[in-house]
Amino acid sequence: MSTMTVKDNDYNYTDELNYKYKPGLYAGFLHEFKYINPVSIETGIAFSMKGYKVKDDKQVNGKTATLKVSVNLYYIELPLNLKISNNVEGVKFFFIAGPYIGAAFMGDVKAELTYDGKTEKEDKDITIGMDNDKDMKVFDFGFNFGFGLDFKDVQLSLNYSLGLSNVTYVSKNGYSTSNRLFTFTAGIPLRMFRY
């Protein structure tokens, strides 16, 4: 589930426009390097869908106008997490924390306006690049936090990613846009490859 924090020195647009979390896919491969028990280093590569959605109703000439917007961004991410594990009465649990860097490679905006019984739709690709004439920057970085349970044959974890970078080129009046992401993951450990 993802959303974005959009704000400047005067407003928090995320709150003003009531940005919603949107579901998405998070999938990849992680490898755990044992360090000193109970500490290990976890890294890998992941595909991550980010963005947000908005639904806003306004009264126009006595009729309701409904605007729906969905922003979708697609990233390849490289996390580097410190992992601390413990075993209590046969149940192994763990905590992770560490930075990530992501590279956006595609994005789109879908908008739908309904008014007076008529609906208009518009789809637009988001331009991504290293030049400031693009809609979004390529790179995103931030910090991961999470915890989970290890049932030997499967690991379940709940994680939060806090984006720390402004992923747009707009910066006037302190304007910034940053990613937020909650993930619930189920993983199958390939223990034969662990060190």
pLDDT at res. 62? 86
Is there a contact between 96 and 159 (Cβ–Cβ < 8 Å)?
yes
Q: Return the closest-CA partner of residue 149 out of 97, 185, 183, 181.
A: 185
CA atoms of 36 and 31, how far apart (whole Å):
16
pLDDT at res. 166? 95
pLDDT tens across 92-112, in order?
A: 899 999 999 999 999 999 999
CA atoms within 13 A on the CB side of 111: 9
Could you say which residues of the chain have pLDDT below 70? 190-195
| Structure-token pair, residue 38 | 């109970």
CA atoms of 130 and 147, how far apart (whole Å):
35
Q: What is the DSSP string of 52-117?
A: EEEEEEEEETTEEEEEEEEEEEEEEEEEEEEEEEEEETTEEEEEEEEEEEEEEEEEEEEEEEEETT
Q: Considering the entire predicted model, what is its pTM?
A: 0.88
pLDDT at res. 191? 54
Q: Return the closest-CA partner of residue 108 out of 67, 73, 146, 143.
A: 73
Task: For 131, list phi and psi in degrees, rounded to 5.
Answer: -100, 150
Q: Which amino acid is at 106?
A: M
pLDDT at res. 76? 98
pLDDT at res. 89? 78
